[in-house]
Copies of this chain bind each other. A is one copy, B any other.
Amino acid sequence: MTDFRVVGERLRNWGRWGDDDERGTVNLITPERLAAAGRLIHKGRIFDLGIDLDGTGPQNGRFRINPVHLMSETGAEQVFPGGFRYADGYLFMPIQASSQWDALAHVFYDGLLYNGHPADELTVKGAARCGIDKQGKGIAGRGVLLDIPAVRGVPWLEAGEVITPDDLDAAIAAQGGVSVGAGDILLVRTGWRRKFLEQGQEAGFMAGEPGLGLASCQWLRDRDVAAVCADNWAVEALPGEDPGAFLAVHMVLIRDMGMTLGEILDFEELTEDCRADGRWEFFFAAPPLKITRAAGSPINPLAIK
């Protein structure tokens, strides 16, 4: 079993965008690449990849809870000049309970965050460095979807199944050779969302998941991918390849490579459209809420073709 620390050291991007950098691989989305991404909008169709924020979400209440939305006003009891009435409400949620970006401050090991920022800057007041607010001017660019279950001929991968570089290459080949390159936002479909939609909470969405393995980190680094999103809740396979290293892919991608992860997304409608028109690339925009010093943010990413 490869030691994730060895992989992490080899793939590390620390200092690549300056010693003070807090944005990591999102820096790879250069102005030129962003402008080119805008030209991918052809048919003017939007796919919303965020799931509903309500009690139907995948959280089981043990680790995290689903978002709680409560009304504070319905208008029924109001009296304003002219007859104006309004509805209002509150939202309470774990920032990572639903569709979300991980901030680079979300994960660390050996006392250091991405770019060598000391982990003791993570306090009850939040992340002084690498919080999600540092990604406010993003994350938008060229998105590419790879449909792994299609390659394997299954409706979804099962918990613990590892997606390898060969799987990624096979998906590219099966999808007409769509390129995955520098500054791209890669969307990896594992089918885990599909399983949840078909079988519900009882199927154990949060109990494990299929996802990337450690070898795929090298693949992502070789292509200088800017961000990875998935339809599971942690991008990587769980249980992982090495029982001795919990969430090893998180540690390498986020802490060593400085790569932001998008999780609990829904690619179902987008996948159907890509299969239909054969185009697996699109403009992608997923601005995080600028929650100061937060370890992540709920999002509703848009894929626009």
Q: Which residues does A use to contact B, with CB under 8 Å?
A: 4, 30-35, 37-48, 50-56, 59-62, 65-77, 80-96, 103, 105-110, 119-120, 122-127, 133, 136-138, 140, 242-248, 250-251, 283, 285-296, 298-302, 304
16 contacts between A and B (CB under 8 A): A33-B44, A35-B43, A46-B137, A56-B292, A61-B65, A61-B66, A65-B68, A69-B126, A71-B71, A81-B245, A82-B251, A90-B95, A124-B124, A137-B302, A287-B302, A289-B299
A65-B61, A109-B84, A251-B82 given as contacts; is B125 within 8 A of A71 (CB)? Answer: yes
Known: A50-B136, A70-B71, A87-B122. 15 other contacts (CB 8 A): A46-B138, A50-B290, A70-B72, A74-B122, A75-B108, A75-B119, A77-B125, A83-B109, A84-B246, A86-B107, A88-B95, A91-B95, A124-B124, A287-B287, A287-B300
Among A30, A86, A125, residue most surrounded by chain B Cβ atoms (within 10 Å): A86
Given the interface contacts A69-B292, A92-B91, A304-B140, does A243 sit within 8 Å of B298 by beta carbon?
A: no
- 7 A-B pairs with least C-beta separation: A61-B61, A31-B44, A38-B41, A82-B245, A34-B44, A54-B292, A70-B70
How far apart sit A76 and B93, CA to CA, in the bound complex (Å)?
22
Chain B residue contacts of A74, Cβ below 8 A: 122-124
**Alpha-carbon distance between A6 and B70 when the two chains are bound, in angstroms:** 34
Give complex CA distance A298, B294 in Å. 15
Contacts of A53 in B (CB 8 A): 289-292
Tell me the nearest residue of chain B to A138, going by C-beta: B46
Task: Tell me the complex Cα distance, A42–B76, Å.
Answer: 47
Question: Could you say which residues of chain B place their CB within 8 Å of the CB of A106?
Answer: 86-88
A90–B94 contact, CB under 8 A?
Answer: yes
In the complex, the count of this chain's copies comes to 4
Q: CA A250 – CA B75 in complex, angstroms? A: 14
**In contact, B91 and A50 (Cβ under 8 angstroms):** no
Cβ contacts under 8 Å, A120 to chain B: 76
Residues in chain B near residue A4, CB distance under 8 A: 82
Chain B residue contacts of A47, Cβ below 8 A:
137
Q: With A53-B292, A92-B92 as given contacts, are A82 and B62 in contact (CB-CB < 8 Å)?
A: no
With A35-B44, A123-B74 as contacts: A109 and B81 at CB distance below 8 Å: no
Instruction: Report A275 CB to chain B, min CB distance, Å.
Output: 19
Contact A31/B48 with A92-B92, A288-B300 known, Cβ cut-off 8 Å: no
A48 and B90 within 8 A (CB) = no
A234 to B94, CA, bound (A): 28
Which residues does chain B contribute within 8 Å of A136, judged by CB atoms?
48, 50, 300
In Å, the complex CA distance between A90 and B30 comes to 32
Are B82 and A124 neighbours in the complex by a CB distance under 8 Å? no
